[in-house]
Amino acid sequence: MKFTRATSYALHAMAYMAAQKKNEPTASHVIAEKRHIPERFLLKVLKPLVSARLLTSIKGPNGGYRLARPASDISVLEVVEAVEGMIRGEAPSEEPNHPTSRRLEAICQQTADQTRKHLGKIKISELAGRD
């Protein structure tokens, strides 16, 4: 499996916030600086995390972002799917009803299901080294 840069940045940002002692808002420029992420790109990555209710966005001079739930309750799967969409198994074919195409589709779906199950077990707190 290969994460996109956006997913990797999202996981880094979530792990950074999880590693903080207090659940106070963290400014995006601080996360960007500490994790060496371009801030403009980071802001685009944080938006779907807020939409998925994994992060809370606080406006104002003391605002920023914070985890919407404890890091031990947020899975890597939730972050990945917030940024990339649902992990699905697909085997494109010109002949979707061909027996080989159907078997390949089943193999891809099983792999996607196993990946989703595995990523669902890993919590952001583990990624941050807090478990």
Q: Which CATH number goes with the domain that contains 41?
A: 1.10.10.10
Backbone angle region of 120, left / alpha / beta, with phi > 0 → left and psi within -120 to 50 → alpha: alpha
Report residue 25's pLDDT band, with 50, 70 and 90 as the boundaries: very high
pLDDT reading at 31 higher than 70? yes
* Average pLDDT score, the chain: 93
pLDDT digits (tens, 9 = 90+) for 38-70: 999 999 999 999 999 999 999 988 899 999 999
Q: Which domain holds residue 72?
A: 5-127
Provide the pLDDT confidence category of residue 109 given band limits of 50, 70 and 90.
Answer: very high
> How many domains does the chain fold into?
1
Q: With CA atoms as reference, report the closest residue to 72 among 13, 16, 11, 127.
A: 127
For the entire predicted model, the pTM comes to 0.89
Evaluate if residue 131 carries a pLDDT over 60: no
Closest residue by Cα to residue 13 from 85, 87, 83: 83
Determine the straight-line distance between the first and last CA of the chain, rounded to whole angstroms: 24
Closest to 51 measured CA to CA, from 37, 65, 32: 65
